[in-house]
C-alpha cells in the first residue's frame, strides 16, 4: 500500500500538497484557499466508524464545509452498493453509510462522474 501511495504522489508532481487527514476533514475544507482533491471519502468513513465517531454528524459537518469552501473541492469515493448485500452487520452498516455519504455529496456537487472500466459516465452536470 505504501508503494501505491508513493506512486500516486510521484504521478501528481511537485505542485500538489498532500495532507493526511484520517478523521477531521471538515476543518481542512474550511481553511482551504487552493483547489482540494479528497481521496477518498470511503476511507474517511471507515476511519470515522473505527474511531467510534458519529458518521452522520461528521457528514453534515463535511457537507457544510464543502458548501462554504472558498476553493473548488473534488471528492473521490468508492461505489460499494452495486454488489451483493453483505451478510455481516458491520459491512452492511458501512455499505449503507457510504451510500448516504455519496448521496449527500452528490446533492451539493455541481458535477458527478461515475467511473467504470476507466470510462466516465456523467450523472450530474450543472
Over residues 21-52, the pLDDT tens digits come to: 899 999 999 987 888 889 899 999 999 999 99
- What ranges do the domains of the chain cover? 24-125
Write down the pTM of the prediction: 0.88
Q: Catalytic site residue 8?
A: yes
Residue in the block written with cell 508503494: 3
Question: DSSP assignment of 75-122, as one string?
Answer: EE----SSSPPPSSHHHHHHHHHHHHHHHHHHHH-SEEEEEETTEEEE
Active-site annotation holder among 5, 6, 7, 8: 8
User: What share of the chain has pLDDT > 70, as a percent?
Assistant: 100
Per-residue pLDDT at 27:
94
pLDDT tier at 123 (50, 70, 90 boundaries)? very high
Residue in the block written with cell 475544507: 29
CATH of 24-125, one of 3.40.50.300, 3.40.720.10, 3.30.428.10, 3.20.20.140: 3.40.50.300
Amino acid at each position: 500500500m505504501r508503494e501505491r501511495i508513493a506512486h500516486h504522489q510521484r504521478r501528481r508532481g511537485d505542485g500538489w500538497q498532500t495532507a493526511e487527514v484520517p478523521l477531521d476533514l471538515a476543518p481542512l475544507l474550511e481553511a482551504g484557499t487552493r483547489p482540494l482533491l479528497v481521496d477518498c471519502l470511503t476511507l474517511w468513513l471507515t476511519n470515522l466508524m473505527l474511531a467510534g465517531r458519529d458518521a452522520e454528524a461528521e457528514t453534515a459537518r463535511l457537507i457544510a464545509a464543502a458548501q462554504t469552501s472558498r476553493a473548488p473541492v473534488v471528492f473521490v469515493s468508492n461505489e460499494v452498493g452495486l454488489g451483493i448485500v453483505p451478510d455481516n452487520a458491520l459491512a452492511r452498516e458501512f455499505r449503507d453509510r457510504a451510500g448516504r455519504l455519496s448521496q449527500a455529496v452528490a446533492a451539493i456537487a455541481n458535477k458527478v462522474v461515475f467511473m467504470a472500466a476507466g470510462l466516465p459516465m456523467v450523472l450530474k452536470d450543472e
